């Protein structure tokens, strides 16, 4: 099987190289992202392997289909960049539903601790032999209330970590899980009570700008916002305004609404055009990492393992355990639940 691999990063090569050899899959690694201009590179390939910022919209899908592509393998969990409806009946879509929820949950806590204990400032100071403690006063997490939005795989692990710190945990989920170790409340109640809010829900029409102009005035004064999920869950301009008005006490962002043209690239020495991002980064109480929450050795191994297994299953005509279709969760007689392909 020949697969065109888009948006290749150096960290992809060891793990995908290993599994490609073991499973006899031929990858052609392209540095460029998939979009309407680059999709011609996939001509003659059986499938494409894509990541979070590749453009898998309807025009791209139509062209891929015309070029003979029959499978899109996402090497990530989120799929908001794929038009599943446009794929239906033409190209199968598979993903990696879980590769290391620990990686993302642990990174979320790392960001929170960095922010509240001012580690980002202390690190730079001591590198310069400045041992002053001025302005480094933090606060205890113990006894504080964390509001978790989305109590799926990552949310649940983050809840466990917060419990370890002695935090009170409240949560909001559209589909509450009675087994989750938290008290479910309404969104408004969560906004009102939480000292820290962490986003672990998918990006959808319903969750778009869940933190935005409407919700920010409802927050507890000084609340810390953590986002390791998807950028557009937060309206970045409204967040900036909330920070300036001292409603939001701090923000830790691993994802950003307009990250596509910025994240994963080295812009040091260049002028960043995005004024909102530049202003956010200039704030002393904002920490930005560039979509790295997933980036652990364990996660990379699992991503390559599941992605190549998905491709292998497709190649031998088997049921696709990790297939996605626009009807997922919406139809009674689900083909996937019957262990058949979605079409
Ligand atoms: P999951 O599917 O296990 O959990 C998502 C949870 O969100 C579910 O409990 C679901 O019921 C809930 N949910 C769905 N719609 C909702 C709504 N409208 N309001 C509130 N909750 C809602 O997903 P998982 O694995 O925990 O991942 C969560 C998100 O983390 C993914 O959607 C992805 O965007 C992001 N992610 C980020 C990574 C990074 O490197 N920064 C890496 C992996 C995932």
Q: What domains sit in the chain, N to C, each tagged with a CATH number?
A: 2-99+297-338 (3.40.50.720), 101-288 (3.40.50.720)
Distance (Å, whole) CA 225 – CA 253: 8
Tell me the best of 200, 204, 211, 259 to mutate to test the pocket of ligand 1, counting ligand atoms within 8 Å of each CB and taking the most.
200
End-to-end Cα spacing for the chain: 21
- Cα dihedral angle (229, 230, 234, 236), rounded to 10 degrees? 120
Q: Is the CB of 202 under 6 A from ligand 1?
A: yes
Q: Is the CB of 153 under 6 A from ligand 1?
A: yes
Over the stretch 226-263, which tens digit does the pLDDT of each residue have? 999 999 999 999 999 999 999 999 999 999 999 888 99
Ligand 1 atom with least separation from CA of 293: 40
Task: Report the separation in Å between the CA atom of 146 and the middle of ligand 1, taken as the mean of its atom positions.
Answer: 17
Using the Cα atoms of residue 33, residue 35, residue 39 and residue 45 in order, give the sign of their dihedral.
Answer: positive
Task: Report the separation in Å between the CA atom of 202 and the middle of ligand 1, taken as the mean of its atom positions.
Answer: 4
Q: What is the pLDDT of residue 335?
A: 87
Take atom 1 of ligand 1 and give the residue whose Cα is closest. Answer: 152
Q: What is the pLDDT of residue 281?
A: 97
pLDDT average, residue stretch 57-82: 97
Q: What is the pLDDT of residue 338?
A: 86
Distance (Å, whole) CA 256 – CA 263: 9
Q: Is the CB of 152 under 6 A from ligand 1?
A: yes
% of the chain beyond a pLDDT of 90? 92
Tokens at residue 81, please?
């960049």
Q: Is the pLDDT confidence value at 62 over 80? A: yes
% of the chain beyond a pLDDT of 70? 100
Q: Is the CB of 307 under 6 A from ligand 1?
A: no
Catalytic residues: 230, 259, 291
Q: What is the pLDDT of residue 49?
A: 98
| Average pLDDT value for the chain | 96
Q: What is the pLDDT of residue 337?
A: 85
For residue 309, count other CB atoms closer than 10 A to its CB.
16
Ligand 1 atom with least separation from CA of 154: 26
Strands 286-288 and 323-324: unpaired
Over the stretch 13-31, which tens digit does the pLDDT of each residue have? 999 999 999 999 999 999 9
What does each C-alpha distance from 90 to 21, 40, 97, 262, 331 come to in angstroms?
Answer: 28, 17, 22, 32, 19
Q: Is the pLDDT confidence value at 268 over 80? A: yes
Q: What is the pLDDT of residue 146?
A: 98
Task: Report the separation in Å between the CA atom of 266 and the middle of ligand 1, taken as the mean of its atom positions.
Answer: 28
Q: Is the CB of 95 under 6 A from ligand 1?
A: no
Over the stretch 150-180, which tens digit does the pLDDT of each residue have? 999 999 999 999 999 999 999 999 999 999 9
Tell me the best of 80, 152, 211 to mutate to test the pocket of ligand 1, counting ligand atoms within 8 Å of each CB and taking the most.
152
Please state the pTM of the whole predicted model: 0.91
pLDDT average, residue stretch 212-225: 98
Over the stretch 324-343, which tens digit does the pLDDT of each residue have? 999 887 888 888 888 899 99
Yes or no: say if 180 and 125 are a contact pair by the CB < 8 Å rule: no
Q: Is the CB of 184 under 6 A from ligand 1?
A: no
Indicate left, alpha or beta for 89 from its phi (over 0: left) and psi (-120 to 50: alpha): left
H/E segment holding residue 31 = none
pLDDT average, residue stretch 198-221: 97
Q: Where are the alpha helices (DSSP H) in the chain?
A: 12-23, 58-66, 84-87, 101-116, 119-127, 153-164, 187-193, 236-244, 275-282, 297-315
Q: Which residue has the tokens 């609404």?
A: 257
Q: What is the pLDDT of residue 223?
A: 98
The whole-angstrom distance between residue 223's C-alpha and the CA centroid of its chain comes to: 22
pLDDT average, residue stretch 319-327: 95
pLDDT average, residue stretch 302-313: 98
Q: Which residues contact 138 (CB under 8 A, 6 or more apart)?
A: 116, 117, 118
Q: What is the pLDDT of residue 313?
A: 97
Q: Which residues contact 11 (CB under 8 A, 6 or more apart)?
A: 295, 300
Q: Is the CB of 151 under 6 A from ligand 1?
A: yes
Using the Cα atoms of residue 180, residue 184, residue 188 and residue 190 in order, give the sign of their dihedral.
Answer: negative
List phi, psi (to 5°) of 150: 100, 105
Q: Is the CB of 323 under 6 A from ligand 1?
A: no
Q: What is the pLDDT of residue 330?
A: 81
Tokens at residue 13, please?
């090569």
H/E segment holding residue 142 = none
Distance (Å, whole) CA 240 – CA 225: 12
């Amino acid at each position: 099987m020949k697969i065109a691999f888009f948006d290749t990063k150096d960290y992809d090569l060891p793990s995908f190289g290993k599994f490609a050899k073991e499973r006899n899959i031929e990858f052609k690694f392209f540095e460029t992202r998939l979009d309407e201009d680059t999709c011609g590179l996939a001509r003659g390939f059986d499938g494409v392997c894509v990541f979070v910022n590749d453009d898998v919209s309807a025009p791209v899908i139509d062209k891929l289909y015309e070029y003979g592509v029959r499978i899109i393998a996402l090497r990530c969990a989120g799929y908001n960049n794929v038009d599943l409806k446009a794929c239906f009946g033409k190209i199968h879509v598979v993903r990696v539903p879980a590769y290391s929820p620990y990686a993302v949950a642990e990174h979320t806590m790392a960001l929170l601790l960095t922010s509240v204990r001012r580690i980002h400032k202390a690190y730079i100071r001591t590198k310069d032999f400045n041992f002053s403690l001025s302005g480094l006063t933090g606060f205890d997490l113990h006894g504080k209330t964390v509001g978790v939005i989305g109590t799926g795989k990552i949310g649940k692990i983050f809840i466990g970590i917060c419990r370890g710190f002695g935090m009170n945990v409240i949560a909001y989920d559209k589909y509450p899980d009675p087994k989750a170790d938290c008290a479910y409340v309404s969104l408004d109640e969560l906004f009102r009570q939480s000292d820290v809010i962490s986003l672990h829900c998918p990006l959808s029409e319903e969750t778009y700008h869940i933190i935005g102009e409407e919700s920010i005035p409802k927050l507890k004064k000084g609340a810390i916002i953590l986002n390791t999920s998807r950028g557009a869950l937060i309206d970045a301009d409204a967040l900036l305004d909330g920070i300036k008005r001292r409603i939001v006490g701090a923000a830790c962002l691993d994802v950003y609404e307009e990250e596509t043209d910025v994240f994963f690239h080295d812009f040091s020495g260049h002028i960043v055009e995005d004024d909102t991002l530049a202003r956010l980064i200039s704030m002393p109480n904002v920490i930005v990492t560039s979509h790295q929450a997933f980036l652990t050795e364990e996660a990379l191994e699992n991503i390559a393992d599941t992605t190549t297994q998905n491709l292998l299953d497709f190649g031998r005509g088997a049921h696709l355990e990790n297939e996605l279709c626009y009807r997922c969760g919406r139809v009674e007689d689900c083909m996937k639940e019957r262990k058949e392909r979605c079409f």
